[in-house]
Every structure is written in structure tokens, then in C-alpha cells.
Amino acid sequence: MMTDKIKEYIEEAKAFTTQNKEKLEEFRIKFLGSKGLVKDIFAEFKNVPNDQKKEFGQVINLLKTIAEEKVKSIQDELESKEVVGGIYGDLSRPAEPFKIGSRHPISLVKNQVIDIFSNIGFNVSEGPEIEDDWHNFTALNLPEYHPARDMQDTFFIQTNPDILLRTHTSSVQVRYMENNQPPIRTISPGRVFRNEAVSSRSHCIFHQVEGLYIDKDVSFADLKQTLLYFTKEMFGKSKIRLRPSYFPFTEPSAEVDIYWGLKTETDYRITKGTGWLEIMGCGMVDPNVLKNCDINPDEYNGFAFGMGIERMAMLLYQISDIRMFYENDVRFLEQFKSSI
């Protein structure tokens, strides 16, 4: 019966496979060519009895569909292999050297600070850049109308005066203390915002790293030794001094200076002829801050410190204008090659 023969052709088409273009073309001509099987079988349609035409027509159409799909699928497979070969060529050849990218100096310094403090057990904590008044001010011993709030010109969200762009990463420390019990040893790097005039020495956007250590029997001597370790690792300087200062969230508070030296004209300029250079603020955490974070100040105490990443980057890389960090000048950024 003719339909049985067509079904044999269908099985033959289904089983056909090749990775050779010439054999694929032979298959196409055999089944779908102008003198191929499908056309010859269609020519026999007029001789089929009427009661068998329906089945005969369905089987022919099935054969044609299977043959066309088989040709297309193998063609697509062969073409895809050709494209891969065209892109990569001989995979045994030595690779072309890739141009080494540049990491932003802010990221380089931040990563270096993180590595230094990680070596003495500090973890990294992060928080939102859009903050509420409680975490940015009130919990840090800066209640509403406190005069020290004027020390930081703040970007408030106009539709909600309780929401603002954080002015320091101390807000991250508050969140961390609210969700973790002592002992706490963490640093909080991140971007902060203050409504200041942009100049070569200041910007309305900059980056900070703040550190926090809370435990039993923590002393100011522990703070000094931690900062001395940091300055040795970061700057190679082993001489520091702490000058009394004021921060609402620490008591006592201090400014930290390192002895930069007076070896070059640049040293004279950046230290104003003194040899000393201020790098950060620090102090013992105020008991009120611990209370606001549900930590018992009679049992625990600790210290905190904060530094500007831009200032450290300007020192390390001798950059004279802070605005260069934000202008995305490729000529400037290409100077900072790094794999870290």
C-alpha cells in the first residue's frame, strides 16, 4: 500500500542526521527537490481512491513537514558552529592581551582600610543612604534643636522633614547596635551628603569610614593603640597625637593627627609648616548613645572613630583637588591600576 511506503520515508527522514553540508543537500534534494520524493508522491494523489485520499494527503503532508524541519534544524546547527569558529578562530592560539582596567582611587583606599581593620577582627556593616532623623541625629545624642546639629548642613527631603540624606555613617552604627549585642567590632564605610559649597577642598558628596568597638572594660588606651596600628599600616607613620575636641556622640572626644614630616615642599604645604596633619575624629561612646540603642552603659562601654576617605586618598596619591574624584575623567582614573 502506498501509505505504508510513505511511512517508511517518514521514519527515514526522522532518523537522518549529518554534520556534513553536502550530505544535507543530498537529503534535501532527495525529499524536497523538484524531482524529489515528496513531489513525486503528490503527483500520485490523483490516482488514489477517493476513500483513501484523506489519509494519503495527511501522510504526504507529514512527510513534507518532517523533511523540512530536519533540513532547517541541521542547517541552524551547522551555521551556529561556523559563527563560533569565526569569532574565536583557533582556540589553541595564545590569547590577545586584555587591557587592564582601573579601579577608582576612592575604592582603592576604602578596600585598604577594610583590609587593615579586618586583620584585627572588625567586620563591615552597611546601611541606607536615605535616613530618618532618629538614626542620623537623635539616637546619637543630638535631639531636636540641639545646637550641634548646625555643625552639619543637612539635605532634608522636602515632602518629609523627618527623612534626610545621611550626614555621616554613624547612622549605620546605630542600626548595628540596635540589632546586635556586644561585643561589637565593626566599621561602616559609605557615601554621605552635606549641604556644603563645592571647592577644591570640600564637596557636598564624600565618603567616610567609621569604626565602633563596644565591650566590657574598653579604655581610651585601647582606642589609641587601635588608631596607632591603623596609621602605621595605612601611612607608614608611627607618630600620632590626640587633641581634645567635641563630638555630641562621644565623651571624651579627640582629633587625631599624624606626624607627616617636613621633607618636601608638598609636606610644608599640606601641613601648613607644622609637620602635623589631622586625619580623623574619635572618642569614647557617650552613655546616652548606648542607652538609645538598648545597651546597658553600666555594663558596656566602647570607642568610635571616623575618617574621610577622600582626604586619605588625596594624601596617599598627592591629589590637590577633591573634585577630580567625581568628574569621571578617564585620563585621571587610568593612573590607578589595580587588581584588588
Which of these three, 88, 114, 132, is where a domain ends?
Answer: 88
Could you list the residue range(s) of the whole structural domain that residue 24 is in?
A: 2-88
Residue 230 and residue 162 in one domain: yes
The closest alpha carbon to 301, from 287, 291, 288, belongs to 287
Residues 54 and 128 in one domain: no
Whether 278 and 176 map to the same domain: the answer is yes
Residue 158 falls inside a structural domain: yes
Indicate the SS3 state at residue 293.
coil
Q: Is 130 domain-assigned?
A: yes
Q: Is the pLDDT of residue 340 over 60?
A: no
Does 54 share its domain with 113?
no
Give the integer Cα–Cα distance in Å for 67 and 14.
8
Final residue in a domain of this structure, among 54, 88, 122: 88
| Chain segment 154-213, per-residue pLDDT in tens | 888 877 878 989 999 999 999 999 999 999 999 999 999 988 888 877 788 899 999 999
In this structure, is residue 38 part of a structural domain?
Answer: yes
Query: Is the pLDDT confidence value at 234 over 50?
Result: yes
Asked whether residue 320 falls in the same domain as residue 280, the answer is: yes
Q: What pLDDT sits at residue 87?
A: 55
**pLDDT value, residue 339:** 45
Lowest mean pLDDT segment, chosen from 43-57, 86-100, 125-139, 214-228: 86-100
In a domain, 284, yes or no: yes
Specify the CATH number for the domain of residue 321: 3.30.930.10
Whole-structure pTM value: 0.67
The residue among 169, 235, 163, 231 whose CA lies nearest residue 206 is 169
Average the pLDDT over 38-60 and give the result.
79
Per-residue model confidence (pLDDT) at position 16: 87
- Report yes or no on 30 lying in a domain: yes
Domain count, the chain: 2
17 within some domain = yes
Whether residue 67 is found in the same domain as residue 116: no
pLDDT confidence of residue 187: 97
Task: Say yes or no: 195 and 323 in one domain.
Answer: yes
Is pLDDT of 112 > 90?
Answer: yes
Same domain, 30 and 164: no
Domain boundary among 88, 114, 143: 88
pLDDT value at residue 125:
95
Summarised one tens digit per residue, pLDDT across range 91-106 is 677 777 777 777 888 9
Q: How confident is the model over 322-334, as a mean pLDDT? A: 84
Q: Between 105-118 and 309-317, two packed helices, what is the crossing angle to 10 degrees?
A: 110
Specify whether 284 is located in the same domain as 223.
yes
pLDDT band at 132 (very low <50, low <70, confident <90, very high): very high
> In the chain, where do the E strands start and end?
123-124, 130-132, 156-157, 160-165, 184-193, 205-215, 240-247, 250-259, 276-285, 301-308
Question: For residue 273, is pLDDT > 60?
Answer: yes
Q: Do 117 and 230 share a domain, yes or no?
A: yes
162 shares a domain with 41: no
Confidence category of residue 82, pLDDT binned at 50, 70, 90 = low
Residue 100 lies in a domain: no
Q: At 243, is the pLDDT very low, low, confident or very high (cuts 50, 70, 90)? A: very high
Residues 23 and 165 in one domain: no
